[in-house]
Amino acid sequence: MDFDLSEEHQEFQNHLRNWVDKKLPKSTAREWESREHEYPTELWDLMSEQGLHAVGLPEEYGGSGSDVFSQVIIGRELSRTLGGLVWTWGLSSFCARSIAESGSDELKSSLLPRLAAGEIKIAIAVTEPSGGTDLLGQMRTVATKVDGGWQIRGQKIWSTAAHVSDYLLLLAKTDPGAEKASRGTTLFLVPNPAKGLEIRQIPKLGMRAVGSCEIFLDDVFVPAANVLGEVNKGWQGILTSLNNERIIVASLCLGVLDGVLEDAVDYMKTREAFGRPIGQFQALQHYVADMAIAQRESELAIYYAAWLQQTGRPIGTAATMAKVIASDHATTAADQGIQILGGMGYAQETDMQRYWRDVRLYRIGPITNEMGRNLIAESFGLGRSF
């Protein structure tokens, strides 16, 4: 068995880490994040110049190839300094993959080159206010067929960066009488702005500068050409992308773990108490050892899931495991990091509090870890608990 990245991937990782340290240092991330509701356009532009939006997309549409490991490397290296600001890249990667897999030839030709170049942005609009994880069972957003397309009425929530996006990747019910809810939904690309479309930002604990939004749709018209995949089979079309998203989210958690461990060790080497560096205190050394163990466990789970996807094997359970493992570990590590730094860990001039605020969300979304564990247990043949 080979646990190393390929030589090409290692070179890419080293190059990207050097670029991140130079262009996206933690001090700059803190400055962007301090603006709270102001989207970091400079960050998007830097990623576009570096070609990061092209990773994961087919070469014939201006991408650099559908390489899952490259996506994992990008997620990890960016979140090491950016924390939750990494979603400036992550959303584009997820939505672009959905278009590449489910879009018509016309949509692919029209949108993928522009996505790869960083010319347009797309946000995910899937979650319902009353649904949460029970997305299909509580879906109230309905699309009705009309001349030339569809008319959509309903509401979505937690749509990150919707306020600055050119399109919304939206899931709506198109067959309310379907025997199974998963068979009566359709994926749409909703243009933004559009008549009847209203978007409001939600104040929140972390990931402040990226912005998360409520979306209100009052008979918004979407052309028939903007349907992704088959009508009434939207859920099936999004499943592959959802599994990929869990792998990417896990890589974002691993990057936060990297940043937390890096800052904790640096602080422990320089901060003195009782006449010696606090790095000599056994209790704090145990925290660092736990972080290092968690880092390796997360890395192995993520690389295994990425390898399964790269080789065309089923990845549902492995992707969910990677997400649960990495998000639990990263949240615990960020909390321990604050403990190590003491009062300074609580201060906004350091990054520990930013890591903790941002990574806490990953235990909730895109699927709660409790629901993730349900799915893992179900893969052993146990009955559904929901």
> Which residues belong to the active site?
245
What is residue 272's DSSP assignment?
E
The DSSP string of 163-181 is GG-SEEEEEEES-TT-SSG
Helix (H, G, I), strand (E, B) or coil at 24: coil
- Helix segments in the chain, DSSP class H: 7-23, 26-34, 41-50, 68-82, 87-102, 105-116, 234-270, 282-310, 316-341, 352-359, 369-378
- What one-letter code names the amino acid at 354? R
Residue type, 30: R
Contact between 220 and 151 under an 8 Å Cβ cutoff? The reply is yes
Among 1, 20, 2, residue whose Cα is nearest residue 73:
20
Pairing between β-strand 167-173 and β-strand 122-125 as defined by DSSP bridges = parallel
Q: Quick check: helix, strand or coil at residue 220?
A: strand
Residue 256 and residue 29: Cα distance in Å, rounded? Answer: 13
